[in-house]
Amino acid sequence: MSVATAISDRRKTVLNAIDPDKDVDGFHPVNVGRLSIGEESLLPCTPHGSVHLIKHALGDNLSGKNAVVIGRSNIVGKPMAALLLAESCTVTIVHSRTQNIEEICRQADIVVAAVGRPEMVNADWIKEGACVIDVGINRIERDGKNKLVGDVDFASASEKAAHITPVPGGVGPMTIAMLLLNTLTAFKRLENLN
């Protein structure tokens, strides 16, 4: 057994040991399954917070919006796509094997970048007036100093995007807010409170 397989097996064991009704991160397979079939569940915090940011920018009705999620992780990419589908968006997931990523992104009303590559997305990828949510958090060295940047080149992309989240200070605070919301929701459900 490889080290990576052993670590993955341990993660699964720990995750499966959590009561799904107390899983405030929204990562338990039961909550992931509930999300995928549209049942009430504890939602993954970063995607949930991202949807709140998108609705704040574009309004509550996202129906028919063309959304592109860059990244296919279990923590952000896949649940983000599921939440956008639940809002009746047309959703495309792109990743490292996708051809013509830039062209696909240029057609999107909503771009969610969650790929883990510093400043990969620039203005050439963005449709005029799009809403861009940058979930990436990357440490780079610039001008001899360590700096946090997202997956989106904020300076160039902000020239085309109507709405864009910064890194740091964009999605992170919303993730924390959704974690607190999930904690309150889990408590209320377990105590049968409205």
Give the CATH number of the domain where residue 103 resides. Answer: 3.40.50.720
What pLDDT does residue 153 have?
Answer: 97
What pLDDT does residue 117 have?
Answer: 95
For residue 187, give Cα distances in angstroms to 3, 49, 71, 158, 177. 37, 19, 32, 40, 16
3 pLDDT tier (thresholds 50, 70, 90): low
Domain that holds residue 176: 3-190
Q: How many domains does the chain contain in total?
A: 1
10 pLDDT tier (thresholds 50, 70, 90): confident
Residue labelled with tokens 């796509």: 81
Q: For residue 78, how many C-alpha atoms fall within 13 Å in the half-sphere facing its CB? A: 12
**What pLDDT, in 10s, does the model give residues 54-74?**
999 999 999 999 999 999 999
* DSSP at 44: P
For residue 15, give Cα distances in angstroms to 10, 26, 189. 9, 10, 20
pTM to 2 decimal places: 0.92
